[in-house]
Structure 1
Amino acid sequence: MKLYFSFFILLLFSLSTYGQIDSKRKSIAIPAVKSKDSVDASPLLPSRPINNNTSINNINTPKVSKNLDMPKKEFSMFPTEEFGNPGELYHKRLNKSLDHLKLSKEELELKNGSTTDQYFGDFKSKAKFVNVVYRDHGYVDGDIIQVLVNDDVIHARVFLTGGFKGFKLDLQPGFNKIDFLALNQGESGPNTAEFRVVDDQGSLISSNRWNLSTGVKATIIVVKE
Protein backbone atom coordinates (compact mmCIF):
# COMPACT_ATOMS: atom_id res chain seq x y z
CA MET A 1 0.00 0.00 0.00
CA LYS A 2 2.82 2.37 0.83
CA LEU A 3 4.50 1.47 -2.41
CA TYR A 4 1.45 2.33 -4.43
CA PHE A 5 1.07 5.67 -2.65
CA SER A 6 4.73 6.52 -3.26
CA PHE A 7 4.37 5.74 -6.98
CA PHE A 8 1.35 8.02 -7.21
CA ILE A 9 3.21 10.91 -5.56
CA LEU A 10 6.13 10.45 -7.96
CA LEU A 11 3.81 10.46 -10.93
CA LEU A 12 2.18 13.74 -9.85
CA PHE A 13 5.58 15.38 -9.30
CA SER A 14 6.71 14.33 -12.79
CA LEU A 15 3.61 15.77 -14.45
CA SER A 16 3.96 19.02 -12.54
CA THR A 17 7.61 19.40 -13.55
CA TYR A 18 6.85 18.69 -17.23
CA GLY A 19 4.03 21.26 -17.18
CA GLN A 20 6.36 23.97 -15.83
CA ILE A 21 9.03 23.28 -18.51
CA ASP A 22 6.45 23.24 -21.27
CA SER A 23 4.93 26.46 -20.04
CA LYS A 24 8.34 28.19 -20.37
CA ARG A 25 8.51 27.27 -24.07
CA LYS A 26 5.15 28.74 -24.92
CA SER A 27 4.79 32.62 -25.13
CA ILE A 28 1.59 34.47 -24.66
CA ALA A 29 0.95 37.29 -27.22
CA ILE A 30 -0.13 40.51 -25.56
CA PRO A 31 -2.08 42.79 -27.88
CA ALA A 32 -0.57 46.30 -28.29
CA VAL A 33 -2.58 49.15 -26.88
CA LYS A 34 -2.49 52.25 -29.14
CA SER A 35 -1.27 55.22 -27.18
CA LYS A 36 -2.94 58.57 -27.39
CA ASP A 37 0.51 60.11 -27.97
CA SER A 38 1.35 57.89 -30.94
CA VAL A 39 3.47 59.13 -33.86
CA ASP A 40 0.48 59.25 -36.18
CA ALA A 41 -1.49 61.44 -33.83
CA SER A 42 1.28 63.93 -33.02
CA PRO A 43 4.14 64.59 -35.51
CA LEU A 44 7.64 65.19 -34.24
CA LEU A 45 7.73 68.71 -35.76
CA PRO A 46 4.66 70.92 -35.36
CA SER A 47 3.14 72.03 -38.64
CA ARG A 48 3.15 75.73 -39.50
CA PRO A 49 0.71 77.63 -41.65
CA ILE A 50 1.89 78.49 -45.13
CA ASN A 51 3.37 81.99 -45.18
CA ASN A 52 3.18 83.87 -48.46
CA ASN A 53 5.69 86.43 -47.25
CA THR A 54 8.79 86.18 -49.44
CA SER A 55 11.26 87.29 -46.80
CA ILE A 56 14.23 85.46 -45.37
CA ASN A 57 15.71 86.75 -42.12
CA ASN A 58 13.71 89.98 -42.54
CA ILE A 59 15.18 90.48 -46.03
CA ASN A 60 12.60 90.78 -48.78
CA THR A 61 13.24 88.63 -51.81
CA PRO A 62 12.03 89.70 -55.26
CA LYS A 63 8.90 88.13 -56.66
CA VAL A 64 9.25 86.38 -59.97
CA SER A 65 6.44 87.05 -62.37
CA LYS A 66 5.14 84.02 -64.15
CA ASN A 67 4.09 86.09 -67.17
CA LEU A 68 7.43 87.88 -67.60
CA ASP A 69 8.15 88.54 -71.23
CA MET A 70 11.82 88.02 -71.89
CA PRO A 71 13.45 90.31 -74.45
CA LYS A 72 13.89 88.70 -77.79
CA LYS A 73 16.96 90.81 -78.56
CA GLU A 74 20.14 90.84 -76.51
CA PHE A 75 20.49 94.01 -74.46
CA SER A 76 23.47 96.25 -75.05
CA MET A 77 24.53 99.44 -73.26
CA PHE A 78 25.99 100.75 -76.48
CA PRO A 79 23.36 102.01 -78.97
CA THR A 80 23.62 100.47 -82.37
CA GLU A 81 22.09 101.47 -85.64
CA GLU A 82 21.51 99.14 -88.50
CA PHE A 83 21.98 100.17 -92.10
CA GLY A 84 21.05 98.15 -95.10
CA ASN A 85 23.97 99.66 -97.00
CA PRO A 86 27.31 99.97 -95.13
CA GLY A 87 28.02 103.25 -96.93
CA GLU A 88 24.70 104.80 -95.92
CA LEU A 89 26.05 106.17 -92.64
CA TYR A 90 28.97 107.80 -94.45
CA HIS A 91 26.67 109.46 -97.00
CA LYS A 92 24.38 110.80 -94.29
CA ARG A 93 27.27 112.39 -92.45
CA LEU A 94 28.66 113.84 -95.67
CA ASN A 95 25.32 115.34 -96.65
CA LYS A 96 24.91 116.85 -93.19
CA SER A 97 28.35 118.49 -93.38
CA LEU A 98 27.48 119.94 -96.81
CA ASP A 99 24.08 121.30 -95.81
CA HIS A 100 25.45 124.85 -95.49
CA LEU A 101 26.46 124.76 -99.18
CA LYS A 102 22.80 124.41 -100.14
CA LEU A 103 21.76 127.58 -98.24
CA SER A 104 21.81 131.09 -99.62
CA LYS A 105 23.97 133.76 -97.98
CA GLU A 106 20.96 135.24 -96.20
CA GLU A 107 19.81 131.83 -94.97
CA LEU A 108 23.32 130.97 -93.84
CA GLU A 109 23.62 134.24 -91.88
CA LEU A 110 20.20 133.62 -90.33
CA LYS A 111 21.33 130.16 -89.23
CA ASN A 112 24.90 130.84 -88.09
CA GLY A 113 24.87 134.64 -87.69
CA SER A 114 26.43 137.33 -89.81
CA THR A 115 30.21 137.29 -89.89
CA THR A 116 30.41 140.89 -91.17
CA ASP A 117 29.43 144.09 -89.37
CA GLN A 118 25.84 145.22 -89.98
CA TYR A 119 24.95 148.85 -90.72
CA PHE A 120 21.31 149.81 -90.16
CA GLY A 121 21.50 153.38 -91.56
CA ASP A 122 21.62 156.96 -90.27
CA PHE A 123 18.62 159.04 -89.21
CA LYS A 124 18.21 162.79 -88.63
CA SER A 125 16.50 164.11 -85.52
CA LYS A 126 15.99 167.44 -83.69
CA ALA A 127 15.37 165.69 -80.37
CA LYS A 128 17.44 166.55 -77.31
CA PHE A 129 17.75 162.87 -76.38
CA VAL A 130 16.69 159.40 -77.49
CA ASN A 131 15.89 156.20 -75.65
CA VAL A 132 17.76 153.15 -76.95
CA VAL A 133 16.22 149.80 -75.95
CA TYR A 134 16.91 146.18 -76.94
CA ARG A 135 15.89 142.61 -76.18
CA ASP A 136 16.49 139.05 -77.34
CA HIS A 137 13.93 138.52 -80.09
CA GLY A 138 14.55 134.78 -80.25
CA TYR A 139 14.83 132.11 -77.57
CA VAL A 140 16.40 133.58 -74.44
CA ASP A 141 19.59 131.52 -74.38
CA GLY A 142 22.19 133.78 -72.78
CA ASP A 143 23.06 136.28 -75.53
CA ILE A 144 25.36 139.04 -74.24
CA ILE A 145 26.24 142.33 -75.99
CA GLN A 146 28.38 145.42 -75.41
CA VAL A 147 27.02 148.90 -76.16
CA LEU A 148 29.25 151.72 -77.43
CA VAL A 149 28.48 155.33 -78.33
CA ASN A 150 31.01 157.08 -80.57
CA ASP A 151 33.42 154.20 -79.79
CA ASP A 152 33.12 154.73 -76.03
CA VAL A 153 31.84 151.79 -73.98
CA ILE A 154 28.53 152.71 -72.34
CA HIS A 155 27.57 149.25 -71.10
CA ALA A 156 30.33 146.63 -71.01
CA ARG A 157 28.12 143.54 -70.66
CA VAL A 158 24.38 143.40 -71.22
CA PHE A 159 22.47 140.14 -70.82
CA LEU A 160 19.60 140.13 -73.31
CA THR A 161 16.22 139.05 -71.92
CA GLY A 162 12.78 138.74 -73.45
CA GLY A 163 11.77 142.26 -72.33
CA PHE A 164 13.08 145.61 -73.55
CA LYS A 165 15.72 147.42 -71.52
CA GLY A 166 18.19 150.15 -72.43
CA PHE A 167 19.41 153.65 -71.67
CA LYS A 168 18.81 157.34 -72.31
CA LEU A 169 21.26 159.02 -74.71
CA ASP A 170 21.68 162.80 -74.80
CA LEU A 171 22.35 163.67 -78.43
CA GLN A 172 25.43 165.63 -79.37
CA PRO A 173 25.30 167.92 -82.41
CA GLY A 174 26.25 165.95 -85.49
CA PHE A 175 26.85 162.22 -85.55
CA ASN A 176 25.88 159.92 -82.68
CA LYS A 177 27.06 156.46 -83.56
CA ILE A 178 25.60 153.54 -81.56
CA ASP A 179 27.27 150.11 -81.79
CA PHE A 180 25.96 146.78 -80.49
CA LEU A 181 28.82 144.28 -80.23
CA ALA A 182 27.98 140.54 -79.92
CA LEU A 183 30.10 139.06 -77.14
CA ASN A 184 28.76 135.54 -77.61
CA GLN A 185 26.11 133.50 -79.38
CA GLY A 186 24.26 132.07 -76.40
CA GLU A 187 23.48 128.37 -76.15
CA SER A 188 21.70 127.96 -79.49
CA GLY A 189 23.32 130.75 -81.55
CA PRO A 190 23.53 133.16 -83.18
CA ASN A 191 23.38 136.36 -81.13
CA THR A 192 19.83 137.56 -81.86
CA ALA A 193 18.32 140.87 -80.77
CA GLU A 194 15.77 143.55 -81.60
CA PHE A 195 16.46 147.22 -80.92
CA ARG A 196 14.43 150.44 -81.02
CA VAL A 197 15.42 154.10 -80.93
CA VAL A 198 12.69 156.50 -79.73
CA ASP A 199 13.02 160.32 -79.51
CA ASP A 200 12.01 162.61 -76.61
CA GLN A 201 8.50 162.91 -78.04
CA GLY A 202 7.96 159.17 -78.11
CA SER A 203 8.33 158.94 -81.89
CA LEU A 204 10.09 155.89 -83.30
CA ILE A 205 13.27 156.84 -85.13
CA SER A 206 14.46 153.34 -86.05
CA SER A 207 13.97 149.67 -85.21
CA ASN A 208 15.56 146.53 -86.55
CA ARG A 209 16.85 143.06 -85.70
CA TRP A 210 20.24 141.40 -85.93
CA ASN A 211 21.68 137.89 -86.09
CA LEU A 212 25.39 138.15 -85.32
CA SER A 213 28.31 135.84 -84.82
CA THR A 214 30.61 136.45 -81.88
CA GLY A 215 32.75 139.58 -82.32
CA VAL A 216 30.49 141.14 -84.97
CA LYS A 217 28.63 144.40 -84.35
CA ALA A 218 25.50 146.19 -85.57
CA THR A 219 25.59 149.98 -86.01
CA ILE A 220 23.04 152.80 -86.24
CA ILE A 221 23.75 156.57 -86.49
CA VAL A 222 21.50 159.35 -85.25
CA VAL A 223 22.36 162.78 -86.70
CA LYS A 224 21.24 165.70 -84.55
CA GLU A 225 20.27 168.76 -86.64
Structure 2
Amino acid sequence: MKLTKFYFLFICFLIFSLSAFSQIDNQKKSISIPAVKSKKDSANITALRPITPLDNKSQANGLNTPRLSTNLEVPNKEFSMFGEKFGNPGELYVKQVNKNLANVKLSPEEVEQLNGSKTDQYFGDFKSNAKYVKVVYRDHGYVDGDIIQVLVNDDVIHARVFLSGGFKGFKLDLQPGFNKIDFLALNQGESGPNTAEFRVVDDTGYVVSSNRWNLATGVKATIIIVKE
Protein backbone atom coordinates (compact mmCIF):
# COMPACT_ATOMS: atom_id res chain seq x y z
CA MET A 1 0.00 0.00 0.00
CA LYS A 2 2.83 2.33 0.87
CA LEU A 3 4.62 1.56 -2.40
CA THR A 4 1.52 2.39 -4.44
CA LYS A 5 1.18 5.67 -2.64
CA PHE A 6 4.87 6.49 -3.35
CA TYR A 7 4.44 5.87 -7.09
CA PHE A 8 1.34 8.02 -7.12
CA LEU A 9 3.18 10.95 -5.51
CA PHE A 10 6.14 10.58 -7.88
CA ILE A 11 3.87 10.70 -10.95
CA CYS A 12 2.10 13.78 -9.62
CA PHE A 13 5.44 15.53 -9.00
CA LEU A 14 6.64 14.66 -12.50
CA ILE A 15 3.44 16.01 -14.13
CA PHE A 16 3.69 19.20 -12.09
CA SER A 17 7.31 19.73 -13.12
CA LEU A 18 6.64 19.30 -16.82
CA SER A 19 3.68 21.68 -16.64
CA ALA A 20 5.77 24.39 -14.93
CA PHE A 21 8.66 24.03 -17.40
CA SER A 22 6.35 24.38 -20.40
CA GLN A 23 4.81 27.56 -18.97
CA ILE A 24 8.24 29.20 -18.45
CA ASP A 25 9.36 28.28 -21.95
CA ASN A 26 6.23 29.82 -23.49
CA GLN A 27 6.87 33.11 -21.69
CA LYS A 28 10.31 33.60 -23.42
CA LYS A 29 10.19 35.96 -26.43
CA SER A 30 12.14 35.04 -29.52
CA ILE A 31 14.62 37.65 -30.87
CA SER A 32 14.93 37.97 -34.65
CA ILE A 33 18.25 39.11 -36.15
CA PRO A 34 17.80 41.07 -39.38
CA ALA A 35 19.92 40.12 -42.34
CA VAL A 36 22.74 42.62 -43.29
CA LYS A 37 23.21 43.31 -46.95
CA SER A 38 26.78 43.44 -48.25
CA LYS A 39 28.03 46.74 -49.78
CA LYS A 40 29.41 44.90 -52.73
CA ASP A 41 27.30 42.63 -54.84
CA SER A 42 28.53 39.12 -54.50
CA ALA A 43 27.96 38.71 -58.23
CA ASN A 44 30.86 41.14 -58.95
CA ILE A 45 33.42 39.15 -57.02
CA THR A 46 36.05 37.72 -59.33
CA ALA A 47 36.41 34.03 -58.96
CA LEU A 48 39.83 32.78 -57.99
CA ARG A 49 41.73 31.16 -60.78
CA PRO A 50 43.79 28.09 -60.12
CA ILE A 51 47.54 28.53 -60.20
CA THR A 52 49.03 27.19 -63.40
CA PRO A 53 52.25 25.29 -62.95
CA LEU A 54 55.42 26.62 -64.59
CA ASP A 55 56.54 24.89 -67.73
CA ASN A 56 60.05 23.70 -68.36
CA LYS A 57 60.86 26.70 -70.54
CA SER A 58 60.44 29.16 -67.66
CA GLN A 59 63.00 27.32 -65.52
CA ALA A 60 66.71 27.36 -66.02
CA ASN A 61 69.02 25.27 -63.89
CA GLY A 62 66.29 24.85 -61.30
CA LEU A 63 65.70 28.62 -60.93
CA ASN A 64 62.51 30.38 -61.91
CA THR A 65 63.07 33.00 -64.60
CA PRO A 66 60.89 36.12 -64.68
CA ARG A 67 58.20 36.32 -67.31
CA LEU A 68 58.14 39.35 -69.54
CA SER A 69 54.94 41.34 -69.60
CA THR A 70 53.33 41.73 -72.98
CA ASN A 71 51.38 44.83 -71.90
CA LEU A 72 54.31 47.27 -71.85
CA GLU A 73 53.61 50.63 -73.45
CA VAL A 74 56.03 51.39 -76.31
CA PRO A 75 56.61 55.09 -77.22
CA ASN A 76 55.13 56.02 -80.54
CA LYS A 77 58.16 58.18 -81.56
CA GLU A 78 61.29 56.28 -82.49
CA PHE A 79 64.68 57.65 -81.47
CA SER A 80 66.76 59.10 -84.27
CA MET A 81 69.97 61.14 -84.15
CA PHE A 82 69.18 62.65 -87.52
CA GLY A 83 65.87 64.14 -86.44
CA GLU A 84 67.21 65.83 -83.30
CA LYS A 85 68.83 69.25 -83.12
CA PHE A 86 71.96 69.65 -81.04
CA GLY A 87 73.86 72.80 -80.11
CA ASN A 88 77.26 73.56 -81.54
CA PRO A 89 79.79 72.34 -78.93
CA GLY A 90 82.31 74.91 -80.20
CA GLU A 91 79.93 77.76 -79.41
CA LEU A 92 79.25 76.35 -75.96
CA TYR A 93 82.99 76.11 -75.31
CA VAL A 94 83.65 79.69 -76.45
CA LYS A 95 80.80 81.01 -74.30
CA GLN A 96 82.15 79.16 -71.29
CA VAL A 97 85.69 80.48 -71.85
CA ASN A 98 84.43 84.04 -72.26
CA LYS A 99 82.37 83.69 -69.10
CA ASN A 100 85.40 82.44 -67.17
CA LEU A 101 87.57 85.26 -68.48
CA ALA A 102 84.94 87.81 -67.53
CA ASN A 103 85.04 86.58 -63.94
CA VAL A 104 88.81 86.76 -63.69
CA LYS A 105 90.75 90.02 -63.35
CA LEU A 106 93.71 89.69 -65.68
CA SER A 107 97.00 91.46 -65.14
CA PRO A 108 98.39 93.71 -67.94
CA GLU A 109 100.93 91.01 -68.77
CA GLU A 110 98.18 88.40 -69.07
CA VAL A 111 96.10 90.71 -71.26
CA GLU A 112 99.12 91.27 -73.50
CA GLN A 113 99.74 87.53 -73.66
CA LEU A 114 96.11 86.95 -74.62
CA ASN A 115 95.59 89.80 -77.10
CA GLY A 116 99.15 90.70 -78.09
CA SER A 117 101.18 93.80 -77.25
CA LYS A 118 99.83 97.02 -78.76
CA THR A 119 103.06 98.92 -78.18
CA ASP A 120 106.41 98.40 -79.92
CA GLN A 121 108.76 96.01 -78.13
CA TYR A 122 112.46 96.74 -77.67
CA PHE A 123 114.66 93.75 -76.86
CA GLY A 124 117.89 95.67 -76.24
CA ASP A 125 121.20 96.36 -77.99
CA PHE A 126 124.18 94.01 -78.08
CA LYS A 127 127.84 94.53 -79.01
CA SER A 128 129.62 92.20 -81.42
CA ASN A 129 132.92 92.05 -83.35
CA ALA A 130 131.58 89.46 -85.79
CA LYS A 131 131.66 90.06 -89.57
CA TYR A 132 128.07 88.85 -89.90
CA VAL A 133 125.21 87.34 -87.97
CA LYS A 134 122.44 84.93 -88.84
CA VAL A 135 118.96 86.10 -87.96
CA VAL A 136 116.42 83.25 -87.71
CA TYR A 137 112.82 83.09 -86.52
CA ARG A 138 109.83 80.74 -86.21
CA ASP A 139 106.29 80.58 -84.81
CA HIS A 140 106.78 79.41 -81.22
CA GLY A 141 103.09 78.75 -80.75
CA TYR A 142 100.50 77.01 -82.88
CA VAL A 143 101.29 77.52 -86.57
CA ASP A 144 98.21 79.50 -87.55
CA GLY A 145 99.37 81.75 -90.41
CA ASP A 146 101.38 84.50 -88.66
CA ILE A 147 103.13 86.78 -91.16
CA ILE A 148 105.86 89.38 -90.46
CA GLN A 149 107.94 91.91 -92.33
CA VAL A 150 111.71 92.23 -91.66
CA LEU A 151 113.53 95.58 -91.85
CA VAL A 152 117.21 96.46 -91.33
CA ASN A 153 117.97 100.10 -90.59
CA ASP A 154 114.41 100.88 -91.76
CA ASP A 155 114.96 99.18 -95.13
CA VAL A 156 112.66 96.29 -96.03
CA ILE A 157 114.71 93.09 -96.35
CA HIS A 158 111.79 90.63 -96.53
CA ALA A 159 108.36 92.05 -97.27
CA ARG A 160 106.27 89.03 -96.21
CA VAL A 161 107.55 86.10 -94.20
CA PHE A 162 105.23 83.24 -93.22
CA LEU A 163 106.23 81.91 -89.79
CA SER A 164 106.44 78.12 -89.77
CA GLY A 165 107.33 75.73 -86.99
CA GLY A 166 111.00 75.54 -87.99
CA PHE A 167 113.67 78.23 -87.90
CA LYS A 168 114.42 80.14 -91.08
CA GLY A 169 116.03 83.56 -91.75
CA PHE A 170 118.82 85.40 -93.47
CA LYS A 171 122.50 86.35 -93.19
CA LEU A 172 123.27 89.96 -92.26
CA ASP A 173 126.66 91.53 -92.88
CA LEU A 174 127.24 93.87 -89.99
CA GLN A 175 128.04 97.50 -90.70
CA PRO A 176 130.19 99.49 -88.26
CA GLY A 177 127.95 101.09 -85.65
CA PHE A 178 124.24 100.40 -85.27
CA ASN A 179 122.47 97.57 -87.08
CA LYS A 180 118.80 97.85 -86.20
CA ILE A 181 116.56 94.88 -86.99
CA ASP A 182 112.77 95.28 -86.90
CA PHE A 183 110.15 92.54 -87.01
CA LEU A 184 106.76 94.01 -87.97
CA ALA A 185 103.60 91.94 -87.33
CA LEU A 186 101.40 92.05 -90.45
CA ASN A 187 98.61 89.95 -88.91
CA GLN A 188 97.70 87.77 -85.94
CA GLY A 189 97.00 84.50 -87.72
CA GLU A 190 93.85 82.54 -87.02
CA SER A 191 94.11 82.38 -83.23
CA GLY A 192 96.15 85.52 -82.44
CA PRO A 193 98.31 87.16 -81.41
CA ASN A 194 101.37 87.19 -83.70
CA THR A 195 103.76 84.89 -81.85
CA ALA A 196 107.38 84.21 -82.75
CA GLU A 197 110.77 83.25 -81.40
CA PHE A 198 113.97 84.73 -82.89
CA ARG A 199 117.71 84.13 -82.50
CA VAL A 200 120.75 86.14 -83.58
CA VAL A 201 123.86 83.97 -83.95
CA ASP A 202 127.32 85.34 -84.90
CA ASP A 203 129.86 83.81 -87.30
CA THR A 204 131.40 81.72 -84.50
CA GLY A 205 128.06 80.16 -83.49
CA TYR A 206 127.64 82.35 -80.42
CA VAL A 207 124.07 83.32 -79.68
CA VAL A 208 124.12 87.10 -79.44
CA SER A 209 120.44 87.39 -78.53
CA SER A 210 117.25 85.34 -78.41
CA ASN A 211 113.73 86.18 -77.33
CA ARG A 212 110.02 85.81 -78.08
CA TRP A 213 107.22 88.22 -78.92
CA ASN A 214 103.44 88.37 -78.80
CA LEU A 215 102.37 91.24 -81.04
CA ALA A 216 99.13 92.73 -82.23
CA THR A 217 98.82 93.64 -85.92
CA GLY A 218 100.95 96.66 -86.89
CA VAL A 219 103.26 96.40 -83.86
CA LYS A 220 106.98 95.68 -84.19
CA ALA A 221 109.77 94.15 -82.15
CA THR A 222 113.29 95.67 -82.39
CA ILE A 223 116.83 94.54 -81.60
CA ILE A 224 120.08 96.47 -82.23
CA ILE A 225 123.51 94.89 -82.93
CA VAL A 226 126.37 97.32 -82.39
CA LYS A 227 129.56 96.45 -84.28
CA GLU A 228 132.68 97.91 -82.63
TM range (shorter): 0.5 to 0.7
Distance in 2 separating the partners of 1:77 and 1:169? 59
Mapping 1:36-115, distance limit 5 Å: 70-71=78-79, 77=85, 79=87, 96=99, 99=102, 102-115=105-118
Structure-1 residue corresponding to 2:62 = none
Structure-2 residue corresponding to 1:19 = none
Report the alpha carbon displacement of residue 71 of structure 1 after superposing the two structures with TM: 3.4
Aligned partner of 2:180: which letter? Answer: K
- SS in structure 1 at match of 2:218: coil
Is 1:150 aligned with 2:153? Answer: yes
Change (3 A) 1:100 1:210: farther
Aligned partner of 2:192: which letter? Answer: G
Distance in 1 separating the partners of 2:103 and 2:196? 23
Report the alpha carbon displacement of residue 115 of structure 1 after superposing the two structures with TM: 0.6
Aligned partner of 1:127: which letter? Answer: A
Structure-1 residue corresponding to 2:206 = 203
Distance in 2 separating the partners of 1:104 and 1:68? 57
- SS in structure 1 at match of 2:197: strand
Structure-2 residue corresponding to 1:56 = none
| Cα-to-partner distance string for 1:12-67 (whole Å, 9 max, x where unaligned) | xxxxxxxxxxxxxxxxxxxxxxxxxxxxxxxxxxxxxxxxxxxxxxxxxxxxxx99
Structure-1 residue corresponding to 2:48 = none
Structure-2 residue corresponding to 1:124 = 127
Structure-2 residue corresponding to 1:176 = 179
Distance in 2 separating the partners of 1:128 and 1:67? 84
Q: Give the % identical residues.
A: 78
Report the alpha carbon displacement of residue 119 of structure 1 after superposing the two structures with TM: 0.4
Structure-2 residue corresponding to 1:137 = 140
Structure-1 residue corresponding to 2:53 = none
Is 1:165 aligned with 2:168? Answer: yes
Is 1:223 aligned with 2:192? Answer: no
Change (3 A) 1:67 1:98: closer
RMSD: 3.1
On the 8 A contact 1:100/1:108 being kept in 2, the answer is no
Structure 2 portions without partners, runs of 5+: 1-73, 89-94
| Cα-to-partner distance string for 1:62-119 (whole Å, 9 max, x where unaligned) | xxxx9997239xx554749xxxxxxxxxxx79x7396297111111111111111000
Report the alpha carbon displacement of residue 154 of structure 1 after superposing the two structures with TM: 0.2
Change (3 A) 1:109 1:100: farther
Structure-2 residue corresponding to 1:189 = 192
Runs of 4+ deviating beyond 4 Å:
66-69, 75-80
Mapping 1:16-31, distance limit 5 Å: none
Structure 1 portions without partners, runs of 5+: 1-65, 81-91
- TM-score normalised per structure 1: 0.59
Distance in 2 separating the partners of 1:68 and 1:153? 72
- TM-score normalised per structure 2: 0.59
Matched residues, number: 149
Aligned partner of 1:208: which letter? Answer: N
